């Protein structure tokens, strides 16, 4: 089936959903309030899916225009809106034949379920007096009971909606029109597809349980997100599989400023072990042997698990220019020789890494800029990753050290989203090239605040409200910072929304509200 036919099917469903919502609203006062949230969410999710698909090939204005026309017209009229050869070609190219076939199967099943729900609601609306009203009341009561047909249909629609969004949730679907324009012109900064929190969490658990050494001190490890194909032009990247994943970087030594030498272990991916004969259950000894064996590969055998992971261990020295390959983020913030372009890209990469890792053990509520490192080797542009101290199993079991969760810092006591707040503070410091502790001295009235974290939040809000961030960076940069600190953003329909890390769609929402504006800032330097 062509892109023309598939889009006709998608837009043909759109007015059906709006009809269901309209029908529901007329019956809500008569006993169907139990289904209110489910039906409204159904409409919102499907609308977002249609909007996202359209905006992958059209401007936001054109996409909204088509949706409005589809909502007000019949199915035949909706299909006629797509009789554009250019649009058809674009949609076929974006979806591909295999994905298109699966999408059509889901959409066809959604149409059937939607019509059944609409029929049920319409039937319950009949009969406004006498026996008809009693009959309608009985039907509504049954509809609110567990196992009712309408409940099952709504549940099924949720599953179909979720499958459809997962199917279309990749780099060809999620890149908005404005960012795709810079992508097509060779811009090197683009949003990365959302990674599963489970993957990063599993990697952390894998590493933390594979130190079988006698060391009493912690082993400093770090994780970052490496997406190599996103530094390529669009026509090249589209031909490569979306296999970017979280890479782990393990360091054998850490100092207070730079890392003149370290060990990189990654990527850690499930692998066939037949080609590699070295097997280890202790990461510590593997790292120590690097100095003797040089670069090599080993297999990490996971105790009590059938999984094995391939590790490529490489000694990291310095960059080609003789500079350290790793640098703490605070050193980067205060360094005066960094251009606004590099600062904006570091801000983008920091937010991107945070999106993937803030819901995992790699980033705790007590994180700070000193926990973040800039890694500048093996990649065309620097990466940012977060470090944690991992103790061996023997050290943990013998209580040699306190390996419990870090003590709460004051900010955690009055802030329900300390991770996002701290990200906003660091983004301001990156833009201004100064620490908030120093900036506070430029303003009167903040010296009376004893708590350092609270004072930094107050000065950050002051810098936002007075336009200082906007003047040093851009309005888009200011928008991203404001979302982090205030956790409020305006969606595409102009509705205020809250941003919470506990939300099931946090990564997608964070990408739209924070990562995308920072990517837009970076793209301006590509011209």
Q: What is the pLDDT of residues 49-101, one digit of tens each?
A: 677 667 666 766 677 777 776 666 555 555 555 555 555 566 666 676 677 66
327 forms beta bridges with: 258, 374
Pairwise pLDDT comparison (356 vs 23), residue with the higher score: 356
Q: Which of 266, 255, 201, 198 is nearest to 228 (CA)?
A: 266
Alpha carbons 308 and 270: distance in angstroms, whole number: 6
Alpha carbons 107 and 304: distance in angstroms, whole number: 43
Rounded alpha-carbon distances, angstroms, from residue 40 to 24, 111, 226, 349: 9, 17, 37, 35
Alpha carbons 463 and 467: distance in angstroms, whole number: 6
Query: Would you say 374 and 329 are in contact if contact means Cβ atoms under 8 Å apart?
Result: yes
- What 3-state class would DSSP assign to 91? helix
What's the pLDDT band for 265 if we cut at 50, 70, 90? Answer: very low
pLDDT score of 409:
52
Q: 54 is written with which tokens? A: 């359209």
* Structure-token match 């600190």, residue found: 485
Q: Is residue 481's pLDDT more than 90?
A: yes
Q: Is residue 464's pLDDT more than 60?
A: yes
> What is the rounded average pLDDT for all residues in the chain?
65
Alpha carbons 428 and 472: distance in angstroms, whole number: 9
Q: Is residue 432's pLDDT more than 70?
A: yes
Pairwise pLDDT comparison (306 vs 489), residue with the higher score: 489
Using omega within 30 degrees of 0 as the cis cutoff, is the peptide bond preceding 367 cis?
Answer: no
CB-based burial of residue 107 (10 Å sphere; 0-12 exposed, 13-18 middle, 19+ buried)? middle
pLDDT score of 212:
79
Pairwise pLDDT comparison (107 vs 300), residue with the higher score: 107
Pairwise pLDDT comparison (453 vs 101), residue with the higher score: 453
Alpha carbons 295 and 274: distance in angstroms, whole number: 19
**How confident is the model over 331-354, as a mean pLDDT?**
86
Dihedral sign for Cα atoms in the order 325, 330, 331, 333: positive
Q: 508 is written with which tokens? A: 């997608």
What's the pLDDT band for 247 if we cut at 50, 70, 90? Answer: very low
Pairwise pLDDT comparison (355 vs 226), residue with the higher score: 355
CA angle 156, 57, 165 (to 5 degrees): 20
Q: Is residue 473's pLDDT more than 50?
A: yes
pLDDT score of 13:
54
What's the pLDDT band for 23 if we cut at 50, 70, 90? Answer: low
CB neighbours (10 Å) of residue 139?
Answer: 20
What's the pLDDT band for 523 if we cut at 50, 70, 90? Answer: confident
Alpha carbons 339 and 475: distance in angstroms, whole number: 18
**Interacting residues of 87 by C-beta distance below 8 A, sequence separation 6+:** 3, 7, 57, 58
Q: 409 is written with which tokens? A: 């810092």
What's the pLDDT band for 325 if we cut at 50, 70, 90? Answer: low
311 forms beta bridges with: 298
What's the pLDDT band for 422 if we cut at 50, 70, 90? Answer: very high
Query: Would you say 58 and 81 are in contact if contact means Cβ atoms under 8 Å apart?
Result: no
**Interacting residues of 285 by C-beta distance below 8 A, sequence separation 6+:** 212, 213
Question: What phi and psi, each to the nearest 5 degrees, are found at residue 274?
Answer: -70, -25
Q: Is residue 454's pLDDT more than 70?
A: yes
**How confident is the model over 238-243, as a mean pLDDT?**
30
What's the pLDDT band for 19 if we cut at 50, 70, 90? Answer: low
Alpha carbons 90 and 93: distance in angstroms, whole number: 5
Q: What angle, rounded to 10 degrees, do the helices at 149-168 and 36-55 form? A: 20
**How confident is the model over 211-238, as a mean pLDDT?**
57
Residue-wise pLDDT tens digits, 350-390: 998 888 888 888 888 888 888 888 876 544 456 787 888 88
Q: Is residue 420's pLDDT more than 90?
A: yes
Residue-wise pLDDT tens digits, 124-167: 655 544 444 545 544 554 455 445 666 777 777 778 777 776 77
Report the DSSP pairing between strands 383-390 and 219-226: antiparallel
Alpha carbons 32 and 143: distance in angstroms, whole number: 8
Query: Would you say 428 and 397 are in contact if contact means Cβ atoms under 8 Å apart?
Result: no
Q: Which of 85, 10, 19 is nearest to 50 (CA)?
A: 10
pLDDT score of 463:
92
Q: 314 is written with which tokens? A: 């490489």
Q: 30 is written with which tokens? A: 């008569």
Pairwise pLDDT comparison (503 vs 226), residue with the higher score: 503
pLDDT score of 478:
93
Length of the chain: 527
In this prediction the pTM is: 0.56
Q: Which of 21, 14, 11 is nearest to 122 (CA)?
A: 21
Pairwise pLDDT comparison (291 vs 341), residue with the higher score: 341
**Interacting residues of 352 by C-beta distance below 8 A, sequence separation 6+:** 191, 192, 225, 515
């Amino acid at each position: 089936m062509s892109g023309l036919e598939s889009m006709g099917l998608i837009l043909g469903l759109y007015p059906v959903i709006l009809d269901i919502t309209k029908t529901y609203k007329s019956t809500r006062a008569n006993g169907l309030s139990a289904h209110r949230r489910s039906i409204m969410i159904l409409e919102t999710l499907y609308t977002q899916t249609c909007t996202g698909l359209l905006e992958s090939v059209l401007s936001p204005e054109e996409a909204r225009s088509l949706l409005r026309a589809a909502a007000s017209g019949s199915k035949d009229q909706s299909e006629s809106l797509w009789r554009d050869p250019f649009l058809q070609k674009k949609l076929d190219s974006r979806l591909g034949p295999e994905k298109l076939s699966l999408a059509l199967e889901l959409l066809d099943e959604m149409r059937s379920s939607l019509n059944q729900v609409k029929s049920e609601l319409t039937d319950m609306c009949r009969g406004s007096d006498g026996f008809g009203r009693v009959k309608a009341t009985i039907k509504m009561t049954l509809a609110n009971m567990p196992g009712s047909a309408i409940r099952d249909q709504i549940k099924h629609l949720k599953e179909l909606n979720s499958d459809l969004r997962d199917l279309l949730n990749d780099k060809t679907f999620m890149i908005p029109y404005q960012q795709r324009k810079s992508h097509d012109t060779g811009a090197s900064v683009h949003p990365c597809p959302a990674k599963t929190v489970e993957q990063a969490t599993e990697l952390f658990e894998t590493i933390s349980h594979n130190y079988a050494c006698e060391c009493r001190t912690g082993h400093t490890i770090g994780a970052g997100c490496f997406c190599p194909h996103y530094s390529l032009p669009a026509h090249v990247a589209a031909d490569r599989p979306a296999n970017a994943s979280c890479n782990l970087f393990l360091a054998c030594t850490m100092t207070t400023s730079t890392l003149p030498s370290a060990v990189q272990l990654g990527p850690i991916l499930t692998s066939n072990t037949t080609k590699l004969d070295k097997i280890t259950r202790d990461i510590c000894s593997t790292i120590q042997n690097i100095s003797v064996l040089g670069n090599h590969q080993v297999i990490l055998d996971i105790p009590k698990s059938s999984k094995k992971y391939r590790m490529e261990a490489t000694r990291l020295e310095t960059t080609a220019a003789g500079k350290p390959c790793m640098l703490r983020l605070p050193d980067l913030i205060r360094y005066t020789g960094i251009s606004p372009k590099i600062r904006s890209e570091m801000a983008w990469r920091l937010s991107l890494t945070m999106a993937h890792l803030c819901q995992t053990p790699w980033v705790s509520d007590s994180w700070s800029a000193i926990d973040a490192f800039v890694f500048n080797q093996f990649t065309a542009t620097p990466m940012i990753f977060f470090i944690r101290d991992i103790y061996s199993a023997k050290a943990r079991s013998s209580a040699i050290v306190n390996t419990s969760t870090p003590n709460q810092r004051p900010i955690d006591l009055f802030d329900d989203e300390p991770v996002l707040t701290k990200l906003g503070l660091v983004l301001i410091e990156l833009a201004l090239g100064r620490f908030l502790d120093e900036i506070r001295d430029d303003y009167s009235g903040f010296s009376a605040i004893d708590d350092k974290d609270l004072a930094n939040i107050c000065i950050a809000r002051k810098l936002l409200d007075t336009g200082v961030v906007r003047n040093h960076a851009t309005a888009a940069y200011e928008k991203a910072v404001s979302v982090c600190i205030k956790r409020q953003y305006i969606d595409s329909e102009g509705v205020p929304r809250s941003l919470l890390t506990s939300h099931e769609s946090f990564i997608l929402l964070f990408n739209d509200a924070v990562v995308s504006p920072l990517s837009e800032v970076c793209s301006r330097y590509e011209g």
